[in-house]
Amino acid sequence: MTSGAFPIPPQASLDEAGRLLHEDDPAAQLALGLAGIEACLADLGLGPDDLTSLRVTTVDHHRIGPVLDVLTERLAQTGARPLLTVHEVERLSPHGLLVLLDGTARPPHPVPVIPGPTQRENPMTLTTPDPHPLDRRSSDLGPLVEAAPGRVHLPGTPGYDAARMPWNLAVDQRPAAVAVPRTVEEVVALVRIARRLGLRVAPQSTGHGAAPLHGRLAGSLLLRMHELTGVRVDGAARTARVVGGTTWAPVVHAAAEHGLTAAHGSAPDVGVVGYTLSGGMSFYGRQHGLAVNHVRTVELVTPDGRLVRCSATEESELFWAVRGAGGNLGVVVAVEIDLLPLAEVYAGMLLWEASATDRVVSTWARWVRDLPESVTTSLRVMHFPPIPDLPPFLSGRDVVVVDGAVLEEDAEAERLLAPLRDLSPEMDTFGRVPAPALLDVHMDPPMPTPAATAHAVLGHLDVAGVAAFVRASMEPSGLMFTELRHVGGAFARAPRTAGVLGSLPGDLLLHCVGVAPTPEAFAAVQRDAAAVLTTMRPWRLDGRSLTFTDEPDMTPGACADAFTAEDWARVAEVRSTVDPGGVMQAAVEVG
């Protein structure tokens, strides 16, 4: 990936003379703006897949939000995967202009000059301040830039916007600086200099769970790890050494070459380190436990800039704490994990029309009570807008889905699934598949998405609990899906060698998610998710999953319910020893 980014000038629905086209048609204005972006890319000799960020500026998000699929459809068709954000302003010029688009692209070589808004015949002006003003401290941050030339981006510089964007596009991260290291040596240098400059250090791989960092990075170096990647599998030892910014897809595929797999998440593009050290809930979990219990060693750069290796026999107290406290204790640059001896797995999904929700949820809630630990499944009630690039069986539909894995031979797996198949699903994909196929079963979004979430730990649902869940999941709201994950089994058992986080209480995990392209939509999803959690309060248990914790405005104490009081005090002591100055800034702060 080329360092930096080339700015694409604002594009809007204007003709050659600068006259407004499609005054009262937001979808058409979006389409013409995007056509202008594509034309600029072509002028640069670039393609749609070179677009790294795309900003939608609008005077009326209530009209633009419902037609954003005009953008998402076209982006999917062209293979573009930009970081998409939506900003609202008071007015645009000329009067009647509802939306304009600008963005950044990978810089071409050599960089040609293309006409900007002042060079074209249709100039336009935003009547708002520069959204990325040069930070008053930027002049003091030269040592950071020198530590990793071309890898550090300051506010007001071309690469800053693209570098600061997390996977969860609803989160507007605005750190004092962003660094994208490619070597451990760069990480060490950046941490040391940030500490000397009085900056906190916030490590981040993909930014799936970035919401707790919202508004907290003004005095921080955001250390994006997504270009410090790699995996090495030892087939004989059944282990993998995974470099800090690596996502699950390359790990799972490398393991498959040895007939192995990992306790990975439900999406291929989630970062291994963040997912694993926050617990990690896989579809193998009821039999094999939390992913964090599969960690053998951790290599991290401490807040004072030392590279240390910790394991059961090296820095053992730090090793205990980092398995659950993660980025609170340093920048993790590699982990070694145990792999699972599975080349194939019986996995898939069952799908019904939403009219079957009551009987599916009732049957599933009874079914999971007596299952062996070899079965880990999820149930979701899902509501999809009519987006053409979605598969036809999802676009514009309300459905209920059960998916997961059964770690049994085919005949036994079919026997166990029979009660659900007796409900005549519209679609049934369960079967024997190569282990890497499990990455795609859950149908998580394939590209960065603005979202808001909430979750809670539940006990088993009785008849009243089922009715409450069905009612809450089917009521009109801003939620895209309301999910129940079956936990228990090995999820609930911490091995003797576990770190601070070794188990998860409860029988079910409730997870609510909604797409939130604007701040108002984010607030609405939060409100609707809170309503679901309130409805399910009679069945809630104490506890939380750090893997699913992605809420803004969280204080460090908000996560204490993920630990025992004794462990919370102990990890706080480790943190005070390793990081007495509070340099590290994790999305989920503990201790």
Please give the pLDDT value at position 6: 65
How distant, in Å, are the alpha carbons of 18, 32, 267, 290 from that of 398? 43, 31, 22, 31
193-246, pLDDT tens digit by residue? Answer: 999 999 999 999 999 999 999 889 999 999 999 999 999 999 999 999 999 999
CB atoms within 10 A of CB 220: 22
pLDDT at 124: 24
Q: Which residue positions in the chain have pLDDT lower than 50?
A: 1-4, 109-136
Closest to 506 in 3D by CA, of 536, 543, 537, 470: 543
Full-model pTM = 0.78
Residue 190 and residue 367: Cα distance in Å, rounded? Answer: 52
Distance CA 508, CA 141 (A): 47
Q: For 281-303, what is each residue's pLDDT tens digit?
A: 999 999 999 999 999 999 999 99
Confidence at residue 407, expressed as pLDDT on a 0 to 100 scale: 98
- Under a CB-based contact definition with an 8 Å cutoff, are residues 277 and 586 in contact? no
- DSSP letter string, 45-61: T--GGGEEEEEEEES-H
- The strand ranges marked E within 466-548 are 481-486, 508-515
List strand residue ranges (DSSP E) for 443-566, in order.
451-458, 481-486, 508-515
> The sheet that has 6-12: what strands, in order across it?
6-12, 99-105, 51-58, 83-88
The residue type of 399 is V
Q: Residue with structure tokens 């576990």?
A: 498
Q: What is the pLDDT of residue 289?
A: 98
Beta strands 51-58 and 83-88 are parallel
What is the structure's pLDDT at 43? 76
Report d(CA 183, CA 307) in Å as an integer. Answer: 12
Other CB atoms closer than 10 Å to residue 474's CB: what's the count? 18
Domains of the chain from N-terminus onward: 6-105 (3.30.1330.40), 344-552 (3.40.462.20)
The secondary structure of 76-136 as a DSSP string is: HHHT---EEEEEE-S-BSSTT--EEEEEEEPPPSSPPP---TTTSSS---B-S--SSPPPT
* Alpha carbon distance 358, 463 (integer Å): 11
